[in-house]
Amino acid sequence: MSNLDPYLQRKAETLAARRSDFTAQPEKAFVNLSATSKVAGNTGARPTKIGEFSILTDSAPGLVGNALGPTAPELLLGALASCLVHTYWLTFTIG
């Protein structure tokens, strides 16, 4: 038995329940997204709040940053990669 089996079972049950919700009440399919970012003083670092999470983005030293966190393009690429991996993983494991 794989360590993933309990997760996959829970995921399949949750997706089935969500499909039922969306069919009965399509408005439940909408998700509110939020993100804010600002420049922190003269450091150039940018505290960014995404939903209930906070992350610090910065530039590399070659671009007058302090490398205190991922750059904005790295964060964007990481979000895209995470989305694609999750989608592909679901497609091939749950069907």
pLDDT in tens, 2-30: 677 787 788 888 888 888 888 888 887 88
Q: Do 25 and 45 reside in the same domain of the chain? A: no
Contacts of 64 (CB under 8 A, 6+ apart): 44
Name the domain count of the chain. Answer: 2
Q: Do 38 and 75 reside in the same domain of the chain? A: yes
pTM of structure = 0.65
Residue 1, domain extent: 1-31
Kindly compute the dihedral angle of the four CA atoms of residues 35, 36, 39, 45, in this order, to the nearest 10 degrees: -30
Q: Do 21 and 38 reside in the same domain of the chain? A: no
Q: Do 49 and 21 reside in the same domain of the chain? A: no
Q: Do 39 and 78 reside in the same domain of the chain? A: yes
Torsion angles phi and psi, residue 46, rounded to 5: -125, 100
Q: 5 or 93, which is more confident?
A: 5
Q: Do 18 and 53 reside in the same domain of the chain? A: no
Residue type, 58: D
Distance CA(95)–CA(92), nearest Å, equals: 6
Contacts of 43 (CB under 8 A, 6+ apart): 58, 66, 68
Residue type, 43: T
